[in-house]
Structure 1
């Protein structure tokens, strides 16, 4: 049994060092997330290995032998003090990097633009500010076939908002604050390459921010089980240069035109998937 435990410890270390399962290349400013995970792996890996090897040592050192009796020691203040101190140090080492990153995660830069992602079983919809540069008001009471995102038709700031029913496009190198809203159950918007995600809670507007650092097309996943078709709740985020992004932006439909009808409006109102391009 002691040999089995030693092999488990050594095998776990070898698997970590040689594992083909690794995260995708990062495409945002959140390299801190990777660093925090690596620190966590090293701390927990060291503790796991130390405990498993200690148990293996105890099995050999204190194995049964004729005439050997177990010693009963109900209390050892010195040992308890060492264990308490080392445990507190380990917990602090695990928490400190995460708190440092979280402090930056919730501090949105002043120059960040805003976009909104609306989750609904089992699809994503997006909203970008219009010419006025700000998102208009929305409310779940306004949700209808003609207004699936629940924008306030009386709010002038909402009428020029851009309603996106296909892939979300973002400009390279520009910080963006992502506002998250759900019209039904809990969801979670997650692009693995961005290393940033957040739960989407019905009745609340949650947020995160990031800066895209690499052009390309990335899969957007729902990372919270949200129903029978959770596996199919996918989308795409396209990161591109300023010229391409501006060209794409000019092709989008405002809420005022969207609510007025048109093939795009009718398609989203019926909750159909957009055609494959």
Structure 2
């Protein structure tokens, strides 16, 4: 009876903790409430299975407890039970996968009016690049990274001359406008993650990954690296500030473009 009571209390306590726990998701600051809804669906499905299995074990412990003179029945196979278990498991897995696939399609289907922002990860800081007046990002290649060109922009690409460079600082974004994040790493695997945005994606050296979102409320949000990237991993943090359009444009005007430090470097080299 003690074992049965412990199992029942485990179920009741788990459900109560889930419903009453103060530890929940951070308030969402983008359009990805779909991700929260998908997690809730997963919790309910796995919670139902957990409850059913533990209560079934409790029933078996009580119903088939030891009694003097009783002998256990040996039944090595039960095809009907096996079909029920296999079918139920398949339905449960499909119910968890289906919402995720729908959300994933939305996650990588970028709206046509989304503005592009490049995020560059390196041990152990974040850098950002935004389009200049021409609205386009110039070409970049990790092989072009140098001391005076830390993001590896192509100096022969005119589209990159007016690109706005934010190295080791805050990234500002306008509220209510979709943003496509182009994620690039120049050393090891990183992962760009802002908990309030819900979206995250690995940054793989040698390739460019992406996702998009729309900021829905102003504020200052912390950027985390969600992939172990070396001894400085815990300190690899940054900041994203979601501004009103007026405040965003004022911030943007104060940021240097690629051509400015490039011209300074060429001038110094000439001396």
TM-score (normalised: structure 1):
0.93
Give 1:132's aligned residue.
134
Which residue is equivalent to 1:52?
54
Report what 1:197 is aligned to.
200
Gaps of 5+ in 2: none
Give the aligned length.
263
Partner SS, residue 38 of structure 2 = helix
* Native 8 Å contact 1:163 1:258 kept in 2: no
When the two chains are superposed, the root-mean-square deviation of aligned CA atoms in Å is 1.2
**Any residues of structure 2 matched to 1:103-142 within 5 Å, and which?**
103-142=105-144
Aligned-pair distance for 1:243? 0.7
Distance 2:186 2:116 in 1: 19
SS at match of 1:150: coil
- Give 1:72 deviation, angstroms: 0.9
Q: Which residue of 2 aligns with 1:11?
A: 13
**Residue 260 of structure 1 aligns with which residue?**
263
- 1:219 aligned to 216, 219, 222, which one? 222
- Distance in 1 (CA, whole Å) between partners of 2:143 and 2:234 is 28
Contiguous gaps of at least 5 residues in structure 1: 267-277
CA distance in 1, matches of 2:261, 2:72: 79
Return the offset for 1:137: 0.5
Tell me the residue number matched to 1:43.
Answer: 45
Match of 1:35, SS state, is helix
Residues in 2 aligned to 1:2 and 1:261: alpha-carbon distance in whole angstroms: 75
- Once residues 235 and 6 of structure 2 are traced to their aligned partners in structure 1, the CA distance between those partners, rounded to angstroms, is 42
* Correspondences of 1:75-94 after superposition (within 5 Å): 75-94=77-96
Residue 21 (1) aligns with residue 29 (2): no
Q: How far apart, in 2, do the equivalents of 1:203 and 1:107 lie? A: 22
- For residue 117 of structure 1, give the secondary structure of its aligned residue in structure 2: strand
